[in-house]
Amino acid sequence: MTQPPAATSDASPTPDATEDAPKPFDAIPQPPGSLILGNVPAFKADMLATLFESRAQYGDRVRFRLLNKQALFIAHPDDLNYVLIRNNRNFIKTTRGYRAMRQLLGNGLVTSEGDFWLRQRRIAQPSFHKKRIHGFAETMVDVAEKSAREWEARLSAEEGAVLRLSEEMTRITLDIVGFTLLSTELSSHSAQVNARLQFVLEEVTRRIRVPWSIPLSVPTPGNMRVNRAIAGLDEVVEGIIAERRGGESREDLLTMLMEARDEETGEGMSDAQLRDEVMTIFLAGFETTATALMWTFYMLSQHPEAEKALHAELDEVLEGGRRPTLADLPRLEWTRMVIEESMRLYPPVPMLARTSVEDDVIGGYEVPADTFVIVSPYVTHRHPDFWESPETFDPERFRDPKAERPRFAYYPFLGGPRQCIGKSFAMMEAQLVLATLARRFKLRYAGDAPAEPNVTITLGVKEEIPMRLQAR
């Protein structure tokens, strides 16, 4: 993706609290576009490149026209704070992207809104309490150790064996979700579940990028393939829920969600709601972490000094080559820093959107009701006003977890009331998996050209990342 040098940005703080009268929405710069489609062709060609280049050329607030809809892209942390926290009730998920996700994945925590979302969040929140999540640490290491043994077997059979990195990370995180969410080894379903989820995610992305889509109720060949993929996922998820309703309780997230009750009403989740939350956790719980780990291993392969520091830390903390535990995490500081810096450069969710409910003011500009408001961790994480040498991989940036920087200069898990409920789960999983594998192996990039990002809902890669295995 082309990344031009950053120009001087409009980095003034959100002036909705200033005494100046707001400027009209039309005063925000807008890139040229098609007479009829507006900026749709640029978004369809490369959404991230369009946003990145627009911020570099026009500043922190850029206006777009998407057919007959107005959109505002914001990149400044003060504006992000306003939209995601200070006035978050005025910016909701009624966008084409979320409608597509809701249609295909259900009405879970990621896609729901209003009172229904608040109720679901209240019910689910206790299940994601740190003390409960910590109980899954050993399971996460067990799954990673299983993959390590398989990698050793491959090395024994073939010196310099080459792995498909995205595929390997997906398999690991899918099994972790299977055991921790459902007490089920999803590797038996792995090929089908993964292929179907990937297909559904690609369909969501396609529906976001094109100006119109045929409703799923219309039996076109494409819609029939989508509906079959969803039905296949439902069969796995609903079968496990039905079995659990009539069987023994287990120590997993599904049991926690089934037993959880709304503190205000005493109500639990219906099977349909459970299905939607399980589908949501599938997406948020395996795809995003797999993406973070994939880019982390790739960045380590490109930066041998950072990898060397990681191995030194693992050798010191995990004396004798023992497996990592939950108690080791505070001492695995460089491990955390490497992951956080990888997520700065390659955030698992690179962009998202909201819709304004009522007229508002962002950054001193009028924003009409029913305007798409687009935000991008990918772009803000590379903002030269908040990150020195923003394109450089430098884990030292995260040495101090309380470093002084604007709240939304870094937000891979979003923020405010809609912050990812599984943040603690994901960070613990990423650290434990990275520590388990990196203490035993080096991964050497075997591609001919640099890996290139590919945006679906998450920040995947256009071509599989080949990694040559080396034992340490």
Residue 372 forms beta bridges with which residues?
71, 355
Burial of 35 (0-12, 13-18, 19+ CB in 10 A): exposed
Q: What is the pTM of this model?
A: 0.85
Distance in Å from the first CA to the final CA of the chain? 34
Q: Taking Cα atoms as reference points, which of 34, 72, 81, 28 lies closest to residue 417?
A: 81
Report how far Cα 189 is from the mean position of its chain's Cα atoms: 23
Bridge partner residues of 469 (DSSP):
443
Which domains does the chain show, CATH number per domain?
15-471 (1.10.630.10)
The stretches of 409-462 forming alpha helices (DSSP H) are 423-438
62 beta partners: 73
* 377-422 pLDDT, tens digit each: 999 999 999 999 999 999 999 998 778 889 999 999 988 776 777 7
- Sequence-ordered list of residues with C-beta below 8 angstroms from that of 45, at least 6 positions apart, any chain: none
204, two tokens = 């969501």
Q: What are 373-382's pLDDT values in tens digits?
A: 999 999 999 9
Q: Where are the beta strands (DSSP E) in 310-463?
A: 352-356, 360-362, 365-367, 372-375, 441-445, 453-455, 459-461
The total of other beta-carbon atoms located within 10 Å of residue 164's CB is: 13
Is 420 annotated as ligand-binding?
yes
pLDDT at 165 (0 to 100):
96
Q: Which of 128, 126, 84 is nearest to 375 (CA)?
A: 84
Residues 6+ apart with CB under 8 A from 409: 77, 380, 381, 383, 386, 387
pLDDT of residue 108: 67
What pLDDT was estimated at residue 455? 86
> Tokens for 159?
């010196």
- Rounded CA-CA distance 109/197 in Å is 18
Mean pLDDT in consecutive groups of 10 residues from the start of the chain, 472 residues? 42 52 96 93 91 97 94 97 94 72 68 71 68 84 96 92 94 86 63 72 72 78 86 80 73 77 78 80 78 97 97 96 95 97 96 93 96 96 96 95 88 80 87 97 95 88 95 92
